[in-house]
Amino acid sequence: MSRKGCQTNNGFVQNEDIPELDPDPGSSSHTPPHKAVAIPASNGAGSHPDVQPFAGMPKEVLFQFSGQARYRVPRVLLFWLTVASVLLLTALTIAIIAVSPKCLDWWQAGPMYQIYPRSFKDSDMDGNGDLKGIQDKLDYISTLNIKTVWLTSFYKSSLKDFRYGVEDFQEIDPIFGTMEDFENLIVAIHDKGLKLIIDFIPNHTSDKHVWFQLSRNRTGKYTDYYIWHDCTHENGITTPPNNWLSVYGNSSWYFDEVRKQCYFHQFLKEQPDLNFRNPDVLEEIKEIMKFWLAKGVDGFSFDAVKFLLEAKHLRDEIQVNKSQTPDTVTRYSELYHDFTTTQVGMHEIVQSFRQTMDQYSREPGRYRFMGTEAYAESIDRTMMYYGLPFIYEADFPFNNYLNTLDTLSGNLLYEVITSWMENMPDGKWPNWMTGGPDTTRLTSRFGNQYVNTMNMLLLTLPGTPITYYGEEIGMGNILATNLNEIYDTNTLFSKSPMQWDNSSNAGFSTGNHTWLPTNSDYHIVNVDVQKTQPNSALRLYQDLSFLHVNELLLSRGWFCLLSNDSHSVIYTRELDGIDRIFIVLLNFGESSTQLNLQDMISGLPTKLRIKLSTNSASKGSEIDTSSILLEKGDGLILEYKTNNLFHYQTAFKDKCFVSNRACYSSALNILHKLC
């Protein structure tokens, strides 16, 4: 083959490091050890159609072939296909984000469980519940499908008011354990996938607090940490600056023998109010918040915030009964408290708390919750704690309006529910609670017949349900006996030890005594007994809380009130895109009631399946919708397959409410906002 007009293919030249073998001298033919492979030299490979690409070709040859249409066109197509795919995926991602509703945060996703630590579980036999005891019972709390544990105050305190007389905001009271116990509890709670919020009382401290001791001695910046004013004190009788009263009655001013002035206290005289008009006080409170947030606390319940500021002037508050002799006005309810509650600037202070917490909410999955107590506020004032459209405040003010009911009826419950839902700002999240440390327990308020019905109401309403420890098993108040406490015993009856089993002290403590007596019914009303009884309050609570956590109809759906009267209240839970609804029927009357759903709902099937019932025997069975008998305290959740949702119907449009509206796509199995 002629080498003329050809070039060497260097890609096929053998390794020069390999030694050449001498030809056999006796061989009749001489074969060179290697020879170069050549390809025709040309300006374009296309002029030599017999030449094909080969492995190891040099780049000069590769360039000659790459220009051919059969190689260039697929390459260009692949490039633009890749660009189009990236753009399409980007557009789809943006579209999904745009149409996706906001995900529920952890404080919205399931029930909260409020614990009074001194009464939950005693781990060291001293008769007082403690932090280790709570940790020991986290498995039980998980069986309730709880998402958030809420601890009332455990700070170092004289416990004069059992929650509010704080001596040191950064120390654990020895009754409850140590700071190490608290840190271990946080870790254990988070390991269970739960969150922890704690009470925080910024309005006042104990008179034993170091700040107060420094203030009464006029020491440096602490001089004005509290609200001091000149007053007359002669022969043991104090003439206060004005007629302002303590929540517990009598004057809210108390003469201090050390400073020779009166200090202001909205609660007990042992609980002097902080002066939040002093910026140093606000910064101190923020530092305390940061201390606990750094420990891993997931949020706070801020108590008594409406008392944070008082009017700068000291004008007398107006009497409710203007004809009453001023000297006889001693009860808190006898004055309008226009100068000592919800003052201008109070919400700005609460908003600053929110801003401090936001500094610790930047880490994904670590949003810090903020709730505020709004006890005895009007509904309009309560809603102000949600904040403004662009100024965030509380995630929600705690809704204790169900706690204020002394009697039950369908009409009363209708009023409480609609009052909150109609006044709640758009896009905000509701919550409901049926008990608390200062509230008479359900059984003692209404009777044990209504415990299951109230729990069914609590766990099927829209928003976050909040359960006070023991309400899931129907615990009642203890009776007024010798409680061995000098403080107002009316606040103690709902704080009796948790009833775990029928052993000594209801399984709360293995010690010889408990700080409060256990309820006499603990042999039959306890966790150990009820967890094996299919018709128990505990088993129903577990079923209801499981349904609440796992059903989009309950966690994200519309709430539509269908009917209410002196006995019953009937409502639905429904969601766009899901072809079924829940109909909830609850009888709060003093007697049985007969209901005909056929008359209320057109096109309703004659039979509907019972999803859950206060009577476990009927669960899963069918019921005649034209004649439903609800006994006193009965409740039913019926499941109804339909695409005719009530919130689209004119007759119910004004009675339907939703927060963070969402729709469900069964095809994609996602939630979206294109309803």
Which has the closest alpha carbon to 365: 197, 498, 190, 212? 190
In the chain, the N- to C-terminal Cα span, in Å, equals 79
Paired sense of beta strands 580-587 and 568-574, if any? antiparallel
The answer to whether 168 and 237 are in contact (CB under 8 A) is: no
For helices 279-295 and 346-358, what crossing angle results, to 10°?
A: 30
DSSP code for 149 = E
Per DSSP (E only), the strands in 232-342 are 232-234, 237-239, 253-256, 261-264, 299-302
- Cβ contacts of 528-537, under 8 Å, gap ≥ 24: 528/500, 528/501, 528/502, 529/501, 529/502, 530/473, 534/616, 535/615, 535/616, 535/617, 536/473, 537/451, 537/452, 537/455, 537/472, 537/473, 537/474
Count of CB atoms situated within 10 Å of the CB of 675 = 13
Q: What string of DSSP letters covers 209-254?
A: SHHHHHHHTT-GGGGGSB-EE--EEETTEEE-SS--B-TTSSBSEE
Among the listed residues 10, 121, 215, the one whose alpha carbon sits nearest the alpha carbon of residue 508: 121
Considering Cα of 331, then 335, then 336, then 337, what sign does the dihedral take? negative
Token reading at 547: 């349904």
393 carries an active-site annotation:
no
Q: Is 270 helix (H, G, I), strand (E, B) or coil?
A: coil
Task: Name the active-site residue from 373, 395, 576, 634.
Answer: 373
586 contacts 603 by C-beta, under 8 angstroms: no
650: helix, strand or coil: helix
Q: How many CA atoms lie within 13 A of 308 on its CB side?
A: 29
Length of the chain: 675
Evaluate whether 613 touches 623 at the Cβ level (below 8 Å): no
- Best CA proximity match to 273, nearest among 337, 221, 231, 215: 215
464 contacts 521 by C-beta, under 8 angstroms: no
Q: What distance in Å separates the CA atoms of residue 91 and residue 97, rounded to the nearest whole number?
A: 10
Q: What are the C-alpha distances in Å from 477 to residues 445, 448, 520?
A: 9, 12, 10
Query: Tell me, what DSSP letter sits at residue 527?
Result: H
**CB-side exposure of 541: number of CA atoms within 13 Å?**
31
Q: Residue 24's Cα: distance from chain center in Å? A: 93
- Return d(Cα 114, Cα 153) in angstroms, integer: 11
Q: How far apart are CA 555 and CA 463, in angstroms?
A: 7
Quote the CA–CA distance of 663 and 590 in Å, as a whole number.
Answer: 39
Q: How many CB atoms lie within 10 A of CB 260?
A: 12
The single residue of 130, 298, 303, 551 carrying the catalytic annotation is: 303
Contact criterion met (CB below 8 Å) for 276 and 282? yes
Reply yes or no on whether 334 is catalytic.
Answer: no
Check residue 162 and give left, alpha or beta (phi > 0: left; psi -120 to 50: alpha). Answer: left
543 near 612, Cβ under 8 Å? yes
Q: Give the Å distances, CA to CA, from 521 to 3, 473, 500.
A: 111, 12, 12
Catalytic residue numbers, as ranges? 303, 373
